[in-house]
Amino acid sequence: MGRKIGQVLAMFIVLAGIGMILGCGAKPEQEVRLGVNAELTGSKPTVGDSCKKAMELLAEQINQQGGLKVGERRLPLRLYIEDNEDKAESAAAAAQKLISQNNVLAIIGPNASGNAIPAARICEDSSVIMISPWSTNPKTTEGKKQVFRACFIDDFQGQVMAKFARQHLKADTAAVLYDVASEYNKGIAEYFKQFFEADGGKVVAFTSYTTGDKDFSSQLTTIKAAAPQVLFLPNYYNEVPLQVRQARHQGLTCAIIGSDSWGSQELLTLGGADLEGSYFSTHYAPDIATPKAQEFIKAYEAKYGKKPDDVAALTYDAGQLLCQAITRAGVLDRVKVRDTLAQITEFEGVTGKMTFKGGGDPVKSAVILLIQNGQFKYFASVQP
């Protein structure tokens, strides 16, 4: 008797399972499912937070208009947000989960290159579109069909800062301190060195540390002994304040410059007065915002009560770019959307005009910001 009940139960479970699979398959496409793979915890939580907030803002705006236009219909946008803990392996796992469990059409993120590169591999292998808002390392999109980004890449950025150091700061000698364990930092440090030396300068100290280090006094003493005219710190906003502080305490008085990983308000809260007079390259400057950017800044401020940083702006651009491709493709089909996305050559975003010349990397300009009176100030624009 007991066995019979067991058999009946087992039958039920199997049938229910089949029913569920069929049910899912037969369900019409009611919504546009997008994944967000963001650094919500770990060492750069502000990055993940901005990415999540910008996507939520975009989804809210689109859903208020009745949804995203796909063919004849308007479908609501639904976000699946995953935390990648700012770890390479978790970023890959998050991408995997978004694809296999949530069956998303495309993924926005990860942002940091160290996370974006492994996640990009997963997306490429599963033929799912991925757009990284903030990953500037060339390896993210290299040799991939499915992976795009909304930002410039590091060889351009390295060149911008090398040129800036040579021409504006009139530096003949430079020193670099970078995180050797992080793809982004390592990549841009090497590009900077290459372009600075090609431009006739000399890199007198090229020193590294490992993610999570808090004491840089040893490297900075070595740098001080080499007496550079400029110090380049292509590191993330949570580490730069300690580096600058220790550099000043070691008696280094030279100019300090950085890259787009500086562009978070956290940098100013953590760094304070030590950062005054430093320059860094980034994606956009709120003080020279175009009407489109102003609209975004206003909406973001109204919703969250703070100014959007560059990650938020780039995420918003990545999201809009994707939505445009979906609308143009007219169907929720990964292959068709990818092909449409690859055909978009010009896109006017919050962070300026992007031109895609085949491949996933846009050509766009960079801005250089100056830290003055505890604020980011627009200093110059550099065209590619």
Partner 1 sequence: MLLYHQMALALQYLLNALQLGSVYALIALGYSMVYGILTMINFAHGDIFMVGAYLAMWASLFLLGLPGQLPTVVIFLGSLLFTMTLTACLGVSIERLAYRPLRQAPKVSAVITALGVGLFLENFTLATIGPEPRQVPAIFPVQQYSWGGVAFTNVQVFILLVALFLMILLDFLVRRTLTGMAMRAVSSNRVVVPLMGVPVDRIISLTFAIGSAIAGAGGLLYGLAYPVLDPYMGIRIGWWAFIAAVVGGIGNIRGAVLGGYVLGAVEIFTPVLLASSTYRDSVAFSLLLILLIFKPTGLLGRPTVEKV
Q: Which is nearer to partner 1, 5 or 225 (CB)?
A: 225
CB of 44 to partner 1, least distance (A): 9
CB of 338 to partner 1, least distance (A): 33
Beta strand 147-149 with 173-179: parallel, antiparallel or unpaired?
unpaired
Q: Which is nearer to partner 1, 63 or 207 (CB)?
A: 207
CB 346 within 8 A of CB 354: yes
Q: Residue count at the site for partner 1 (CB under 8 A)?
A: 34
Q: Which is nearer to partner 1, 253 or 383 (CB)?
A: 253
Question: What are the φ/ψ torsions at residue 326 (nearest 5 degrees)?
Answer: -65, -45
Q: Which is nearer to partner 1, 219 or 351 (CB)?
A: 219
Residue 85: which region, alpha, beta or left (left: phi > 0; alpha: psi -120 to 50)? left
78: β partners = 33
139: which DSSP letter?
G
358 binds partner 1 (CB under 8 A): no
CB of 19 to partner 1, least distance (A): 39
What is the distance between the alpha carbons of residues 324 and 65, in angstroms, rounded to a whole number?
Answer: 15
Could you tell me the CA-to-CA distances from 99 to 37, 46, 123, 330 in Å, in that order?
11, 25, 8, 21
253 binds partner 1 (CB under 8 A): no
- One character per residue 22-61, x = contact with partner 1 (rule: CB under 8 A): ------------------xxxx-xx---------------
Environment class of 299 (CB within 10 Å of its CB; exposed 0-12, middle 13-18, buried 19+)? middle
- Binders of partner 1 among residues 299 to 328 (CB under 8 A) are none
**Chain centre distance of CA 365:** 16
Judged by CB under 8 A, the residue of 140, 146, 238, 259 near partner 1 is 238
- Binders of partner 1 among residues 176 to 215 (CB under 8 A) are 180, 207-210, 212-215
What is the distance between the alpha carbons of residues 384 and 365, in angstroms, rounded to a whole number?
Answer: 6
Q: Which is nearer to partner 1, 53 or 334 (CB)?
A: 53
Q: Which is nearer to partner 1, 77 or 275 (CB)?
A: 275
CB of 122 to partner 1, least distance (A): 24
Tokens of 277: 């007079």
> Residue 128 in 3-state DSSP?
coil
DSSP per-residue letters across 240-306? HHHHHHHHHHTT--SEEEE-GGG-SHHHHHHHGGGGTT-EEEES--GGG--HHHHHHHHHHHHHHSS
3 binds partner 1 (CB under 8 A): no
Q: Which is nearer to partner 1, 178 or 316 (CB)?
A: 178
Judged by CB under 8 A, the residue of 28, 251, 291, 358 near partner 1 is 251
Q: Name the amino acid, one letter, at 324.
A: Q
CB of 188 to partner 1, least distance (A): 17
What is the distance between the alpha carbons of residues 45 and 81, in angstroms, rounded to a whole number?
Answer: 14
> Residue 66 in 3-state DSSP?
coil
222 binds partner 1 (CB under 8 A): yes
- Binders of partner 1 among residues 148 to 177 (CB under 8 A) are none
Judged by CB under 8 A, the residue of 245, 292, 303, 328 near partner 1 is 245
Cβ count near 310 (within 10 Å): 27
What is the distance between the alpha carbons of residues 158 and 19, in angstroms, rounded to a whole number?
Answer: 56
35: β partners = 80, 107
Question: Which helix (DSSP H) or strand (DSSP E) does residue 231 occupy?
Answer: strand 230-233
What is the distance between the alpha carbons of residues 343 and 27, in angstroms, rounded to a whole number?
Answer: 30
Determine what percent of the chain falls in helix, strand and coil, rounding each to the nearest 5: 50, 20, 30
CB of 265 to partner 1, least distance (A): 11
Q: Which is nearer to partner 1, 163 or 248 (CB)?
A: 248
112 binds partner 1 (CB under 8 A): no
Judged by CB under 8 A, the residue of 73, 170, 249, 377 near partner 1 is 249
Q: Which is nearer to partner 1, 298 or 307 (CB)?
A: 307
269 binds partner 1 (CB under 8 A): yes
CB of 342 to partner 1, least distance (A): 36
Which positions lie near partner 1, rule CB under 8 A? Answer: 40-43, 45-46, 180, 207-210, 212-215, 217-219, 221-222, 224-225, 238, 241-242, 245, 248-251, 266, 269-270, 272
